[in-house]
Structure 1
Amino acid sequence: MKTTKTIFQDGNHKWVAIVRDPQRPDYLIDTNEYLVTHGGQGLLLDPGGAEVFPAVFSALSSEFDPSALAGIFASHQDPDICSSLALWLEFNPDMRCYVSWLWSSFIPHFGGSAETFVALPDEGGDISLEGLMLRAVPAHYLHSSGNFHLYDRVARILFSGDVGAALLPPAEDGLFVEDFDRHIRHAEAFHKRWMGSNEAKRRWCERVSQLDIDLLCPQHGAIYQGADVQRFINWFDELQVGIAGA
């Protein structure tokens, strides 16, 4: 069963991380889901695959009324991102799914109708959650050709999808990065292989360095906080990516 942890709260504005499922089959990659709530509505970020839907739904329900979910934010098209879409829409057919325009005719194969999808242009844009403006930040080719991250300037949180992800061994699977140098060893091979463009990486590093970020929250692994956020950006900026093992 997945666990939940509130990582930000100010009045009715809240971020909850839905993480770590020890009962997950070993052949499935572990994923983090994030819930943003404001004014009684919620937005679920990268809700995960169909296989983990029961665990995510149960964990979310312990924190928030799922019927108040206004939508889903899908950073890109992968099955571990949003293949559970049809199951969420069975529960609430009026939910919207925010996704790059590039995938707005592909992700419907997971479920939904033309009205379900809000196609984001390449430059990104704002998503309103009961008056809270969240910013879709371009992260194309990191690793998907149509890819977005989500920034909350009030909470100073950047949801970074696969950027920052680390494949952690069981003994080092805490919620937050505790030893950056030790942690980043579990991220290096993943970033070299899955991030496809050094130019796109450089542009992303320049873009997010201009944002005030207290927490950088990836879809896999641990959350970077405080000085480790800029430490990660600097590390990523210097890393050569798009490299296969052979």
Structure 2
Amino acid sequence: MLTKTLWENNTHKWIICGRDPEKPDRIIDTNQYMIKTHNRLLIMDPGGIELFSAMLNSALEYSAINEITDLFASHQDPDIISSLGLWDRALPKARLHAPWLWEGFIRHFGMEHTEYVRIPDEGGEIDLGAVRLTLVPAHYLHSSGNFNVYDPQLKVLMSGDIGAALEPGQPPLFVENFSEHTKHMEAFHKRWMPSNKAKQHWIDRVRKLPIEYMAPQHGRIFKGDDVKRFLDWFEALEVGSAIL
């Protein structure tokens, strides 16, 4: 599994874990992100159960076990959080920040000890001391209770399934040709994003944020002008089209 520091300043750093060449062909590849401060580590959407040992090893490269204090679940899908039951046993004193809507479902993954910090529909914050992260509502994109994570210092938006791309092999980390990249995103967004109204609400919200990097759960990361190109492309795309 690739583990790489993406962005950092003097208070914290963002780390990606993903691009697993050993995953079975019928398991979707995912990007996991971690934020490390001087004494705390947050793991966002820590991955499926099959990734637990690799993710734990990656986290321990940056932090002692007692410094892994926080987990974040953007929504309920098993590809990004079915490992939570194992994290619950490894980190019994950690906090899980997750939508209030999904608590009764997420606990089916085996969440017995970890404190469940319920995110209200309007969003909130994760305070890591060195940085306060904004939890941005992204409801119905694609989950009815869904959030992104925004870092106002490094201007990074962890966008979950928004911006996801499914392409074969081991693609580069960053989008290199936006027009070419859209062919890997279009079918996914048309099928998995059910609401044009929710889509527009999210676009209007995030356009107010200064974003230098948009980091989705699947596929490549957007940077610079490609963030705006994605918002324009997504705005023009008719989603929820599977009914046709």
* Same fold by TM-score greater than 0.5: yes
* Residues 13-162 of structure 1 mapped to structure 2, 5 A cutoff: 13-113=12-112, 116-162=115-161
For 2:8 and 2:94, how far apart are their aligned partners in 1? 24
Residues 227-246 of structure 1 aligned to structure 2 (within 5 Å): 227-244=225-242
Mapped partners of 1:156, 1:189: distance in 2: 28
TM-score by length of 2: 0.96
Q: Is the 8 A contact 1:18 1:60 kept in 2?
A: no
Q: What is the CA–CA distance in structure 2 between the aligned matches of 1:76 and 1:156, rounded to whole Å?
A: 22
The structural deviation recorded for 1:131 is: 4.2
1:146-225 correspondence to structure 2 within 5 Å = 146-170=145-169, 173-225=171-223
Question: Are the equivalent residues in 1 in contact too, given 2:40–2:63 (CA < 8 A)?
Answer: no
Question: What fraction of aligned residue pairs are identical, expressed as a percent?
Answer: 49
Q: Distance in 2 between matches of 1:80 and 1:122?
A: 23
Cα deviation digits, residues 7-41 of structure 1 (max 9, x gap): 11112410001120001111100000000112310
Cα offset, 1:66, TM superposition: 3.7
Determine if contact 1:39/1:130 at 8 Å carries over to the other structure.
no
Partner Cα distance (1:91, 1:55) in 2: 13
- What is the aligned length? 244
- Change in Cα spacing, 1:58 to 1:114, as seen in structure 2 (3 Å) is closer
Could you tell me the TM-score, scaled by structure 1's length? Answer: 0.95
Unaligned runs of 5+ in 1: none
> Using the alignment, how far apart are the partners of 2:216 and 2:36 within structure 1?
18
Q: Hey, what's the Cα distance between the residues in 1 that align with 2:44 and 2:208?
A: 23
The amino acid across from 1:177 in the alignment is V
Tell me which stretches of 4 or more aligned residues in structure 1 moved more than 4 Å. Answer: none
Give secondary structure in 2 for the equivalent of 1:160: strand
Gaps of 5+ in 2: none
CA shift digits 1:136-174 (9 cap, x unpaired): 000000000000000000010000000000001226x10
Structure 2 CA distance, aligned partners of 1:116 and 1:196? 31
SS across alignment from 2:154:
coil
Residues 75 and 98, structure 2, Cα contact 8 Å, conserved in 1 = yes
| Counterpart code for 1:175 | L
C-alpha separation in 2, matches of 1:23 and 1:58: 16
CA distance in 2, matches of 1:155, 1:89: 29
RMSD: 1.4
Are the aligned partners of 1:136 and 1:149 in contact in 2 as well (CA < 8 Å)?
yes
Query: Take 1:147 and 1:131, find their aligned partners in 2: how far apart are those partners?
Result: 25
**What is the rounded CA distance, in whole Å, between the counterparts of 1:228 and 1:18 in structure 2?**
22
Partner SS state of residue 117, structure 1: strand
User: Once the 2 structures are TM-superposed, how far is the Cα of residue 99 of structure 1 from its aligned partner?
Assistant: 0.8
Separation in 1, partners of 2:32, 2:243: 29
